[in-house]
Chain A
Amino acid sequence: MGRRARRRREKRRTTKVLVEAEVEVAEGLGPARERREKKRPTRPSRRLRYPRILTGVAAAAVAATILIVLSLAPWGNDGEATPSEFIVPTPRPADIPSQGTTLGSPDAPLTIVEYSDFLCPFCTDAALETVPQIEEEYVVTGRVKLVWKQFPLPQLHGEAAIVAAVASECAAEQNAFWEYHDMLFLNNKSVTFNIENLKRFAQDLGLDTEKFNVCLDEGKYMDKVAADYDEADRRGATGTPTFFVGQTMVVGAKPYGEFKKAIDDELAKLGETSEAE
Chain B
Amino acid sequence: MSDLLRWGALAALAMAGMGVAAYLAYSHYADQTIMCAGLSGCDAVENSEYSTLVGIPVGLLGTLFCAGLLALVLARVARLPLTEEWAPLAAFSMTLAGVAFMAYLTYIELFVVEDICIWCTSFAAIVTIAWLITLVDVLALTNE
Contact = CB atoms under 8 A, between A and B. Distances in A.
Given A60-B94, A70-B53, A75-B55, A192 B44 contact: yes
Nearest to A197: B44
Contact of B54 (A57, A70, A82): A70
24 contacts: A49-B141, A49-B144, A53-B89, A53-B142, A56-B89, A56-B90, A56-B93, A57-B93, A59-B93, A61-B97, A63-B93, A70-B53, A71-B58, A73-B54, A190-B33, A191-B43, A192-B40, A192-B43, A192-B47, A192-B115, A194-B114, A196-B113, A196-B114, A197-B44
B23 interface: no
A265 B41 CA distance: 46
Interface residues of A, number: 31
B108 to A, nearest CB: 8
A273 B96 CA distance: 78
Interface in A186-245: 190-192, 194-197
Interface of A: prevailing SS:
helix
Given A194-B114, A196-B112, A197-B44, A56 B55 contact: no
B44 A67 contact: no
Contacts of B49: 81-82
Contacts, number: 85
Contacts of B94: 60
Given A56-B138, A64-B97, A70-B54, 4 more contacts: A50-B142, A56-B96, A73-B54, A192-B43
A195 B96 contact: no
A52 interface: yes
Interface string B75-96: 0000000000000011011101
B71 interface: no
Interface residues of B, number: 32
B119 to A, nearest CB: 15
A53 B144 CA distance: 13
Interface in B100-136: 100-101, 104, 112-115
Nearest to A193: B44
A158 B114 CA distance: 14
A197 B101 CA distance: 23
Interface in A156-207: 158, 190-192, 194-197
B52 interface: yes
Nearest to B33: A190
A7 interface: no
Contacts of A59: 93, 97
A93 interface: no
Contact of B50 (A52, A71, A76): A71
Contacts of B89: 52-53, 56
Contacts of A49: 141-142, 144
Interface in A57-97: 57, 59-61, 63-64, 67-68, 70-71, 73, 75-76, 81-82, 85
